[in-house]
Amino acid sequence: MTIGGGMDASEGKAWFTQDRFGMFIHFGLYALAARHEWVQHREEISPADYRKYFENFDPDLYDPREWARRAREAGMKYVVLTAKHHEGFCLWDSKHTDYKATNTPYGKDLLKAYVEAYRAEGLKVGFYYSLIDWHHPEFPIDGIHPLRNHPDALEMNKSRDVRKYAEYMRNQVTELLTDFGEISVIWFDFSYPKRDYRGMPGKGRNDWESEELVGLVRKLQPNIIVGDRLDLPTDGNFPKDLATPEQYTPRVAPTVNGKPVRWEVCHTFSGSWGYHRDETTWKDAAQLINILVDTVSLGGNLLMNVGPTARGTFDARANKALETYGEWMRLNSRSIYGAGPSEYVAPTGCKFTQRGNRLYLHIQTWPFRHIHIEGLGRKVKYAQFLHDASEVHWLDPDADVDSNIGVAVGNGMLTLELPVLKPDVVSPVVELILKD
C-alpha cells in the first residue's frame, strides 16, 4: 500500500507497520517534581526556580539495558525517548547548550547508553525532540510558556529571536541524527500557531522553519519516519509521514486528503507522560490490551509511554503494566505483528485483525457460548484459540443447526462454539485460518 509520500519498502519504512508496538519514554527534570511533565507550565515556575531540579538531577539507578529488556519482554519493537522535552533540558552532551545531563550531578550522557542498550535488545531507536523550549533565552514567551503572566513578558520578548532558536534546533537535530547511528523515528512536538495569549502569538512552521528542519532530517537520515506535529502543509514538499493521535482511540483510521496515512497512537499508563507519583488513573489490564488491539484493528501502531522515576527506574506500577503486555503478547503477538485491519466486520464486543489468510477474532466482551459472524460461514478452514492452540468448533452453516440460537440454514453465518468459561486471558483471540 502506498502510504504518505511513497512506497514503504522503497523508503525502508516497512518495519513500522510490521512491528506495531513501541515504547515511548518521557524522562527529564520533571521526573523530580513527579507531578506531570508540564509542571513548569502549570505552576508557572520561572527558569530560575526550576533550576533546583537540574541541580538535583541524579538518576543513579539508570540502567537502560533494564529498560530495554523490559520493553522487549513486553513485546515492544521500537522505542522513542525524549532527548529534549518542553522544559529544554537535554539528555545528551550537546555542544549547543549547558542545560544538559552532563552538567548535572549525574554527569553523564544518557542518550548514548540508551541507544546502545535498546539496539542490543534488537529494538529500533527513535528520538522525541521538543519544538517548544521553556529554557532557551531566544525562545519568545507565548501562551504556554511558564513566564506567560510575567508583567514584563512582552518587554522580554523584544530581545528574543525565534530565528536564532530555529537555528539552535537545527544544530541539535544535526547532533542527534549524526552522532547516534541510524535513528528510525523522530518526533517533533508540537505546533500551536493559533494560540494567541495577551498579544503573544502561538508558534508554527514559520517559527520552527519546519521545511528547512525536515529537509535537514531527510538529508541526514533518509529512512527516518518523521512525526507530523511540525505544522507542515499536507500538500507541500514533505507529505505527512506519520500521523500521531494522542491519548484516544480514533474511531476510524486517519487519512490525509482522503488517502491512508501511516499512523501511530500514543498513550500513557496513567494520564501523565512524565513520572507522576500521585496519579491514580492507571489503566487496567483489559484497557491496556484493548488499546493495542483496537489500534491494530484500524491499521495503526501503538506507542505506549513509560515515565521513569528520577532514580532512573520504572516504578512497580509501570513494570506491572509492561508485564501485562508481555504476558499477553507472548501468547497472542501473532495477531499483532504484521497484522492490520480486516475487510470483515467484527461482531459486537469483538475486533478483527488480519494477516494474509489468518483472521484474528479478539473477543473483548466474553459472550455466552456463541459468536455469530456474518459472511464467514463457508470460508474457514480451521479455528483455534491463540493462547493454547486449542481447537474451536463452529456450527455447520449448511446443516439444520439449532434454531434456538437463531442461525438460519444456508445464510453463510459462522457460529463459533465457545466454552462457557472465559479462558484466563485478557481479550482471548481466536485464530481463523481462511480457505485460500
**Residues found near ligand GLC in the complex (CB under 6 A):** 26, 37-38, 189-190, 246, 266, 273
d(CA 228, CA 409): 51
Of 114 and 360, the one with the shorter C-beta distance to ligand GLC is: 114
Neighbour-count burial of 66, counting CB atoms closer than 10 A to its CB (0-12 exposed, 13-18 middle, 19+ buried)? middle
Cα 34–chain centre separation = 21
- The C-alpha atoms of residue 319 and residue 23 are separated, in whole angstroms, by 13
State the cell numbers at 33.
Answer: 517534581
Q: Percent helix, strand and coil across the chain, each rounded to 5?
A: 25, 20, 50
Rank residues 56 and 247 by Cβ distance to ligand GLC and give the closer one: 247
- For residue 338, how many other CB atoms are within 10 A of its CB? 17
Distance CA 266, CA 50 (A): 27
Distance, in Å, from the CA atom of 195 to the CA atom of 203, rounded to the nearest integer, reads 8
We find the least distance from the C-beta atom of residue 321 to ligand GLC, in angstroms, to be 17
Find the DSSP H helices in 160-305. 162-176, 205-208, 210-220, 285-297
Q: Which is nearer to ligand GLC, 38 or 139 (CB)?
A: 38
Question: To the nearest whole angstrom, how small is the minimum distance from the Cβ of residue 145 to ligand GLC?
Answer: 13
Task: Provide, rounded to whole angstroms, the least separation between the CB of residue 78 and ligand GLC.
Answer: 16
The three-class DSSP label of residue 13 is: coil
The interaxial angle of helices 64-73 and 316-332, nearest 10 deg, is 40
How far CA 371 is from CA of 379, 414, 433, in Å, comes to 16, 8, 16
Least distance (Å) between residue 185 CB and ligand GLC: 13
| CB distance 243 to 263 below 8 Å | yes
Q: Among residues 37 and 207, whose Cβ is nearest to ligand GLC?
A: 37
Q: How far is the CB of 207 from ligand GLC (least distance, A)?
A: 16
Query: Closer CB to ligand GLC, residue 37 or residue 228?
Result: 37
* Shortest distance (Å) from residue 47 CB to ligand GLC: 18
Q: For residues 37 and 133, which CB has a smaller minimum distance to ligand GLC in the complex?
A: 37
Q: Which is nearer to ligand GLC, 81 or 217 (CB)?
A: 81
Shortest Å, Cβ 231 to ligand GLC: 13
